[in-house]
Amino acid sequence: MVNKISYVLVFMLFICAGFIACTDDDKVKITEFTLTLTEPEDLNVTSISDLHVTFKNVNTGKLTTNTMTGTAGKITLNEGLYNITVEGKMNYIVDEKNVEGQVKGYKESVNLVGTTSADNIKLFLFNSKADFVIEEVYFAGSTTPEGKQYSGDQHIKIYNNSDSVLYADGLVILESAFKTSQQYEYTPDVMSQAMVVQCVYAIPGNGKDYPVQPGESLLICDKAIDHTAANTNSFDMRNANFEWYDETEKNLDTDNPEVTNLDKIYSYTKTIWILNNQGLCAYAIARLKVDKETFLKDYRYQADYININPMTIDRYKVPNEWIIDAVNISNKAQYVWNVVDPSLDMGFTYCGEVASDKNRYNKSVRRKVLSTTPDGRKILKDTNNSTEDFEAKATPSLKQ
């Protein structure tokens, strides 16, 4: 077993620019920043190399990058708030064999202030194996020709991004309990181990009931009806693959008996579940490793936090290792943090620019196409960074 390795990043950047007359008060303040990189836990790491570090100034958008050939150094940057991304290669031992993999790290809102500052980023093994991905989330809903809001046509598309048949049986859809627009310090903080969720809905099946061919999608919707009958701006979703249906005392939901319902494992609401209309949650797909009864018994999450007054949250948690894909969603003005671990998603995407943005309606967030195979199969972009992987404010695929 190789001992834990901490890598200290130290390198210098000198930026030349035109000079103008100024007073001492106008001079840009700089800080000498030391970044420590900690190897992934539970891996027998032998080496980490070819590290690329990118500093993004949150306020200006300016990117500062460096290709590392060594493991020690320092960087001098303008004071400010930065998002830091790390990418590199890692060799580790599995079953007495040396394996090479890709390593990444990410930390947002790192405040560089003072003449010197320092921080730590935990690296994680990036698994680029193709699987199901979230292709699209249509959360804001549509509007009628008269400009009125229309609900009920929310939907999610899941795509087989691999080159082989995948089975959707047991795949679960998750909605985060934390909001991307509200950041609190939760005790205990389990984000590095699990996603805290408020909804868990599963595709039924016995293992091979629902095959999905390479390059094909599953359409999962709120109400699998012809919405164009009530709103010509909406969609006919009678041919959806699945719908989520919430049986309630007042029969508030609509069920299409011709479309298979998702199995409800848990929902925070006693009425009907709708996707966050403002787009202030993260969504994920996962494969649970336990049955429903065990999950509800053993994976409850209770935590304390302060929102002016002491508060508690009582939801559930899904281990990160069970999660296949995740996407943080917000609007640009309200976004304050990502509510899943960076190993799942390092960015966010959006439909609205500001809170209650009326322009968010009739739009979705859609994953970009990375390439197309000779036989016409699309390969969707999947770098675990929704800012790069998704088209924000996109035209819904059902409109094309």
| H runs (alpha helix) in 216-341 | 292-298
Distance of alpha carbon 191 from alpha carbon 214, whole angstroms: 32
Q: Which amino acid is at 32?
A: E
The tens digit of pLDDT for each residue in 188-216 reads 999 999 999 999 999 999 999 999 999 99
Using alpha carbons, list the distances in angstroms from residue 390 to 18, 157, 322, 350: 37, 13, 22, 9
Question: How far is 60 from 349, CA to CA, in rounded Å?
Answer: 19
Stretch 280-286: mean pLDDT, rounded? 98
pLDDT tens digits, 56-67: 999 999 999 987
Q: Which helix (H) or strand (E) holds 257?
A: none
Render pLDDT for 233-264 as a digit per residue (tens, 0 to 9): 999 999 999 999 998 877 788 999 999 999 99
CB neighbourhood size of 9 (10 A): 22
Tokens 């695929």 correspond to what residue?
397
Q: What are 268's two structure tokens? A: 């925070």
String of DSSP letters for 172-191: EEEEESS-TT-----BS--T
**DSSP-based three-state secondary structure for 99:** strand
Angstrom CA distances, 131 to 97, 196, 293, stand at 25, 22, 27
pTM confidence score: 0.82
Which residue is listed with tokens 């509200």?
A: 182
Residue 322 has pLDDT above 70, yes or no: yes
pLDDT beyond 90 at 227: yes
Please, which residues bridge with residue 221 across strands? 155, 243
Task: Identify the band that residue 130 occupies on the pLDDT scale cut at 50, 70 and 90.
Answer: confident
Q: What does DSSP assign to residue 374?
A: T
> At residue 71, does pLDDT exceed 60?
no
Helix ranges restricted to H, 20-158: none
Nearest to 164 by CA among 212, 198, 206, 203: 212
Q: Distance between CA 133 and CA 324 in Å, rounded? A: 7
For residues 346-355, give the mean pLDDT: 97
Structure tokens at 73: 């150094």
Average pLDDT, the chain: 90
d(CA 55, CA 65): 6
Q: CA 234 to CA 108: how far, in whole Å?
A: 37
Residues 78, 30: Cα–Cα separation, whole Å:
4
Q: Does residue 92 surpass a pLDDT of 80?
A: yes
The answer to whether the beta carbons of residues 324 and 195 sit under 8 Å apart is: no
